[in-house]
Structure 1
Amino acid sequence: MNSGYKTIMMKPQDKVAVALMDIPTGTQVEVSCQGQIFSIEIKENIEFGHKFAVKPIFSGEDILKYGEVIGVASVNIEPGEHVHIHNLEGKRGRGDIVNVES
Structure 2
Amino acid sequence: MSKKFNALILNQNDNVAVALRSIKEGESLFIQGVVENVEVMQKIPYGHKIATRFIPKGGKIMKYGECMGIATEDIQPGYHVHVFNVRGLKEEERISTNREVQLP
TM-score, normalization: structure 1? 0.80
Deviation of residue 28 (structure 1)?
A: 1.4
Structure 2 partner of 1:94: none
How many residues align? The count is 91
Output aligned runs, 1:26-41, within 5 Å: 26-33=26-33, 36-41=34-39
Q: Which has the larger radius of gyration?
A: 1
Stretches of structure 2 lacking an aligned partner (at least 5 in a row): 93-104
Deviations 1:3-46 (A, max 9, x none): 7452110112101000010000111122234xx42311001100
**Residues 5, 32 of structure 2: 8 Å contact kept:** no
**Residues 32, 38 of structure 1: 8 Å contact kept:** no
- Of Structure 1 and Structure 2, which has the larger fraction of its residues in helix? 2
- Of Structure 1 and Structure 2, which has the larger fraction of its residues in strand? 1
For the residues of structure 2 that align with 1:66 and 1:48, how far apart are their CA atoms? Answer: 18
Stretches of structure 1 lacking an aligned partner (at least 5 in a row): 92-96
Amino acid at match of 2:12: P
Identity of aligned residues (%): 34
